[in-house]
Amino acid sequence: MILSRGGYLIREGFRSIKTHGFMSFATVTIIMACLIIIGSVSLLSVNIDALIKDLESQNEVVAFVDESITEEAAAKALEGQLTAVDNVDSVEFVTRAEAMDNFMSQYDEDLMEGIDETVFRHRFVIHLDDIAEMAQTKAALEAVPGIAKVKAHLEYADTFVTIRNIVSVISLVLTVILVFVSVFIMSNTVKLATFGRREEIAIMKIVGATNSFIRLPFVVEGLVLGILGGGLAYLAEWGLYGLLTGRLMGTLTGSFLTLVPFKTVALPVLVFYLAVGVLVGAFGGVNAIRNYLKV
Amino acid sequence: MVRMNDVTMVYESSGTVALDGIDVEIKEGEFVFLVGPSGSGKTTLMKLITGEIYATSGSVIVNDFDMSNIKRRKLPKVRRTLGVIFQDYRLIENMTVYDNVAFAMRVVGASNREIRKRVPYVLELVGLEGREKRLPNELSGGEQQRVAIARALVNSPRMIVADEPTGNLDPVRSLELMLLFEKINEMGTTILVVTHEKELVNAFNKRTITIDGGHKISDGTKGYFGYDIE
């Protein structure tokens, strides 16, 4: 009996989607539109963050080996100690000969006449995990015995950190506002969809239906519409993102950018969309009929 | 069945005194008309019986449930012992005749087998055999009211409460409907009919309670009396 009753209530949920076709369509469309807006802003912020991180990683720190260590092997032996320093991501050893070659490739060779490689020092090109801690890392690298001097562009690091913080705050504020606005719009749509059915609910109450008996079809309906809205928004976002990134990569600006491929964010986007769809659909429906149940 | 003692109902929002210290008793198996002019308190009295509102003071007992302080979650239990009929039928528009009636059985947890057995029987009882697959808007007013009666009857309630059930029907259909109520009453169900229609009340020699201004002004079996109808 319970099974047949449960089955009936679930069927009622699906039947209701069909019989209230226009409102179902409106609900799915609104959920979809809101999710696409939130998702697009979030993906834009993810890409800006990735771009800043990429630029950060190009910001190198150079550690010069003490002039007294002339042997290449002895200088290279410092690599282990440098790698062990906190916040160091990668260490690349550059011999004095390589340093001279680099220099000569950038400047006029005539300038280098009569100068040999001993003028240059062995060095390490170091990339950091987080440039926000560049000053502390610089000090730690300078403390390594055998390192004479560390050259780091602290002013660039500060600028990057400031930009990153501003972008994070703006995208967070924007996302929070959008989520609130969207939830408001979505719950109002669900409310509107159930408003036309208050008479139906009143009839159910008068024939002795319990609140849970009335709620279940609304929950089923909300769940289905929410999942549908979330799923469709995911597919649309996927297509839209692919289209936009494809277009952008084809331009000159795009060739300088590293865009996050959709597949790396696909799962979190899908989970987020379905979760919001389910929450708004099911809880929105239950919340919307709450007032009509007080009969 | 229904016992109201010194019941007063004041609507808080407007301060209107709809019922003022009224006493009403309806016994098992009775057929009772409740009459009175507009605003006399008839609908308020009905709403107190169905638990849509709570009395300001006094006690209301319906089918052994104390409605004066019943918890909302207990209301479905009371309502399942009642069959309620309205002037505007209140059918679910997108459900067929069969589903509108079956719905009341699903609410009380009846099995599909019980529903398949009981619904056709009740539809036949109210004269709607062959109309099962129609939607409410494909039926006449009289037929729609019969669907509402079938829905009220299907769970074998102890009492049927009808609020102006003939309000939207012509005199012939109204008479047919009253005869149907009489038939249902003869089968053992208590009937309370709220109505304006003097001729109908006078045509049936039943107990008639007249209220006006929130007071009971008469209670007897001599037909429609107590105030003039224009």
Q: Domain with A116 in it: what CATH number?
A: 3.30.70.3040
Q: Where are the domains of chain B?
A: 1-81+157-230, 91-156
Name the residue among B72, B73, B107 with its Cβ closest to that of A207: B107
Task: Provide the number of CB pairs (under 8 Å) joining chain A to chain B.
Answer: 48
Residues A42 and A80 in one domain: no
**Interface residue B88 vs chain A (CB under 8 A):** no
Q: What percent of chain B has pLDDT over 70?
A: 96
Cα(B121)–Cα(B101) distance, integer angstroms: 11
Partner-chain residue, chosen from A199, A207, A295, that has the shortest CB–CB distance to B104: A207
Q: Are residues A12 and A137 in the same domain?
A: no
Q: What is the predicted ipTM?
A: 0.81
Global pTM reads: 0.67
CB contact under 8 A, B79 and A295: no
Together in a domain, A245 and A102 = no
Are residues A44 and A181 located together in one domain of the fold?
A: yes
Chain A residue closest to B51 (CA)? A295
Same domain flag for A40 and A166 = yes
Residues A120 and A138 in one domain: yes
What's the pLDDT at B149? Answer: 92
- Which of A112, A134, A152 is the C-terminal boundary of a domain? A152
CA separation for the pair B202, B217 (Å, rounded) = 17
Q: Could you say which of A90, A118, A152 is where a domain stops?
A: A152
d(CA A34, CA B103): 36
Domain count, chain A: 2
Who among B50, B52, B106 is closest to A5 (CB)? Answer: B106
Q: Domain check: are A90 and A106 in the same one?
A: yes
Instruction: State the residue for tokens 């491929």.
Output: A261
Assess whether pLDDT exceeds 70 at residue B192: yes
Fold held by B1-81+157-230: Rossmann fold (3.40.50)
Question: Cα–Cα distance between A42 and A33 in angstroms, integer?
Answer: 14
Cβ contact, residue pair B112, A199, below 8 Å = no
Taking CA atoms, what residue in A is nearest to B85? Answer: A206
pLDDT band for position B227 (50/70/90)? Answer: very low
Range of the domain at A18: 2-55+160-293
Assess whether A172 and A249 both reside in one domain.
Answer: yes
> Are A10 and A73 within one domain?
no
Question: What pLDDT, in 10s, does the model give residues B101-154?
Answer: 998 998 888 888 999 999 999 999 899 999 999 999 999 999 999 999 999 999
Assign B210 to helix, strand or coil: strand
Question: Residues A65, A185: one domain?
Answer: no
Which of A111, A132, A152 marks a domain boundary?
A152
- Across chain B, mean pLDDT equals 90
The whole-angstrom separation of Cα B140 and Cα A150 is 95
Q: For residues A21 and A71, state if they share a domain.
A: no
